[in-house]
């Protein structure tokens, strides 16, 4: 009698699950004990933000993101760079919060930019009261009152048109149409796209993923996010929720996992395949690639830290070189202006410290110089 295993899940998916579980466990154990753990965790924020835009089809240079985060842009920030910086700030917010905060309804609402109805109403009322109290004392009270009257008449006109449309079509007002009163032209919200309902549908997959291995559950909720598309303007949030899910499950607790940094190495045909088995396998391979890249980067950072420690080992106790080493390890690249502001030294002093610490210059230009660990 011949024993055969014909299940596609066992044949195709299980080896990748084991490899992903092993890679993430090694990465988490190494990052938890490494001396460069804090700098490594901060650097992963930058690379994951760049990877998220890469997966979406946009190219943003990590150097521009570092300078934009330091508010030292060399040119006018692009729309893609602004989104990358938003992803960077959201990752930092998720990392600073509780492990399961991002997956909770309150966390999802905060990350999606939504507010509870009662809280928003209270804020609007309190702001309106403050404006009304200060309006009488201002020198432009008459002009502001005239503008308020015009806005009120315009709002009444728009409301009347919306009521006429409802009466002509003989339809009962539903919650979606009632909400359109605040946005009658549909410029901001699409009445055909119910984001709260889609978020509730996506959260049901999290319950299913809890009964699976952590890596497979993370791949499942990301695939559901890609298929359901709860947030049309924040499609990149799915990869950040994957990292939060792995942290909540206790798989990667030393840092916020950079899922997009590995996903960008997977071909688009596999990431967007019609077969769900192919997509899940691609997402698991992305975790393996990201874990392998993280281990290699940690080796580079550990070697660079050892070399820098040799240079300032015999320095005085109040030397700025140890602080400079920590700052260099936490950024993909640094400039002399960034170092001067971080260490509170002059530009000439920052250049002297960078020469003393012995890191590689990555630009090679005289007008604009930057250093980093490659």
How many C-alpha atoms does 346 have within 13 Å on its Cβ side?
3
Instruction: Name the pLDDT band for 366 (thresholds 50, 70, 90).
Output: low
Do 126 and 119 contact (CB within 8 A), yes or no?
Answer: no
The pLDDT of residue 254 is above 90: yes
CB contact at 8 A, 18 and 38? no
Q: Model confidence at 358, in pLDDT bands (50, 70, 90)?
A: confident
Q: Is the confidence at residue 362, as pLDDT, over 50?
A: yes
State the Cα–Cα distance between residues 234 and 238, nearest whole angstrom. 8
Any idea where the domains of the chain sit in the sequence?
Answer: 8-112+193-301, 117-179, 312-372
13 within 8 A of 276, measured Cβ to Cβ: no
Q: How high is the mean pLDDT of the chain?
A: 82
The CA distance from 263 to 55, in Å, is 7
pLDDT one-digit tens code per residue, 173-221: 444 444 445 555 555 555 567 888 888 899 999 999 998 899 999 999 9
Q: Using one digit for the tens of pLDDT, what is the confidence trace for 96-109? A: 999 999 999 889 98
Element (H, E) at 335: strand 334-335
257 vs 135: CA distance, rounded Å? 50
Record the pTM: 0.77
User: How high is the pLDDT of residue 364?
Assistant: 65
- Tell whether the model's pLDDT for residue 282 goes beyond 70: yes
Most confident range (mean pLDDT) of 49-53, 140-144, 182-186, 309-313 is 49-53
Residue 22 CB-half CA count within 13 A:
6
Other residues' Cβ atoms within 10 Å of the Cβ of residue 215: 28
Tokens 């011949």, residue located:
2
Percent of the chain with pLDDT over 90: 56
CATH fold label, 312-372: Arc Repressor Mutant, subunit A (1.10.10)
Residues 312-327: what's their mean pLDDT?
86
């Amino acid at each position: 009698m011949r024993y055969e295993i014909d299940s596609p899940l066992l044949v195709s998916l299980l080896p990748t699950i084991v490899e992903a579980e092993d890679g993430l466990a090694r990465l988490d154990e190494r990052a938890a004990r490494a001396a460069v753990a804090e700098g490594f965790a901060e650097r992963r924020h930058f690379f994951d933000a760049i990877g998220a835009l890469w997966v979406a089809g946009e190219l943003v240079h990590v150097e521009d993101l570092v300078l934009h985060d330091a508010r030292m842009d060399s040119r006018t920030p692009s729309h893609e760079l602004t989104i990358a910086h938003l992803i960077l700030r959201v990752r930092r917010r998720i990392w600073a919060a509780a492990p399961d905060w991002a997956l909770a309804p309150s966390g999802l609402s905060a990350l999606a930019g939504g507010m509870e109805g009662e809280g928003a109403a209270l804020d609007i009322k309190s702001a309106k009261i403050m404006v009304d109290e200060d309006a009488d004392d201002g020198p432009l009270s008459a002009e502001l009152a005239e503008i308020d009257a015009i806005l009120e008449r315009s709002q009444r006109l728009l409301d009347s048109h919306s009521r006429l449309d409802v009466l002509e079509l003989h339809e009962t007002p539903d919650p979606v149409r009632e909400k359109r009163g605040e946005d009658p032209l549909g410029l901001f919200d699409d009445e055909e796209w119910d984001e709260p309902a889609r978020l509730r549908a996506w959260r049901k997959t999290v319950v299913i993923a809890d009964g699976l291995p952590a890596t497979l559950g993370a791949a499942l909720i990301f695939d559901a996010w890609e298929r359901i598309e709860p947030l049309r303007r924040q499609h990149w949030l799915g990869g950040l929720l994957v990292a939060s899910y792995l942290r909540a499950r206790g798989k990667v607790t030393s840092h916020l996992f950079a899922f997009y940094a590995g996903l960008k190495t997977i071909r688009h045909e596999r990431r967007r395949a019609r077969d769900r088995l192919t997509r899940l396998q691609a997402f698991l391979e992305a975790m393996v690639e990201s874990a392998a890249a993280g281990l290699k980067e940690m080796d580079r950072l550990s070697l660079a830290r050892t070399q820098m420690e040799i240079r300032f080992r015999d320095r005085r106790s109040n030397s700025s070189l140890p602080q400079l080493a920590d700052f260099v390890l936490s950024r993909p690249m640094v400039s002399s202006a960034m170092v001067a502001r971080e260490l509170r030294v002059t530009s000439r002093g920052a250049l002297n410290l960078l020469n003393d610490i012995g890191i590689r210059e990555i630009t090679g230009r005289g007008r604009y110089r930057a250093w980093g660990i490659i």
